[in-house]
Amino acid sequence: MSDFVYAPPAEPVQILHEDHELVFVNKPAGLLSVPGKGPHLTDCMIARLRAVFPEILLVHRLDLDTSGVMVFARTPHAQRHLGLQFEKRQSRKIYVARVHGCPAEPSGVVDLPLAVDWPNRPRQMVCHATGRPAQTGWQVIRAEDTGARMRLMPVTGRSHQLRVHMLALGHPILGDPLYATGAARAHPRLMLHAQSLRLRHPDGGRGLTVTAPVPF
């Protein structure tokens, strides 16, 4: 990744939903969720949001290369409430991905523990000795040219979970700069999008689902 140049898209923040406790946005691919190390990595989703909502607080992250729904809190109460929902796996996330090749089965679950691949950070890897439990449900939406469009439903929220689990399934996500190789890598972006997020609202506990259209 030494040839990596951070060039985030200049498009304005796309707000999907806002109220007195929460702000949902559609994060574009190529934009960091939070600042990286160094002044050249300060432009990020939370910094752009703070220009509009100075009180905004982080709840979770999406990878640089992943687009889609993110939620931010506007109060410490909302941050704690949502943090617990994520921790207790009470939120529901649905992603759409385009992968290389098409699984033989229409659906399934990948249940493989994940750990940091220390010599090759930020890569993660399947590790039965030291890995943390990770589960991803998947469904084939339809076959495409040389691959498939899939719906991915993570149960856990490990770093790079969907990317490593699809690689382990034998179907890396197209355009993945870390895990795809050859023709599977030759795409303008990572074909992974957080399509919807369902959670309970911190004020009253009602169910709230926010979606962002798939851009590919």
The span from the CA of 61 to the CA of 70, in Å, is 7
Which candidate in 63, 111, 176, 203 is catalytic?
A: 63
Exposure b/e, 28-60, CB count within 10 A at least 16 = b:
bbbbbbeeeeeeeeebbbbebbeeebeebbbbb
Interacting residues of 208 by C-beta distance below 8 A, sequence separation 6+: 17, 22, 198, 199, 200, 201
The span from the CA of 145 to the CA of 184, in Å, is 12
| Inter-CA distances, 98 with 1, 68, 102, 114, 171, Å | 23, 14, 10, 22, 9
Q: 206 φ, ψ to 5°?
A: -70, 150
Residue 203 is among the residues annotated as catalytic for this protein: no
3-state secondary structure 25-84: EEECCCCECCCCCCHHHCCEHHHHHHCCCCCCECCCCCCCCCEEEEEEECCHHHHHHHHH
Q: Which 8-state DSSP code applies to residue 121? A: T
**Residues labelled catalytic:** 63
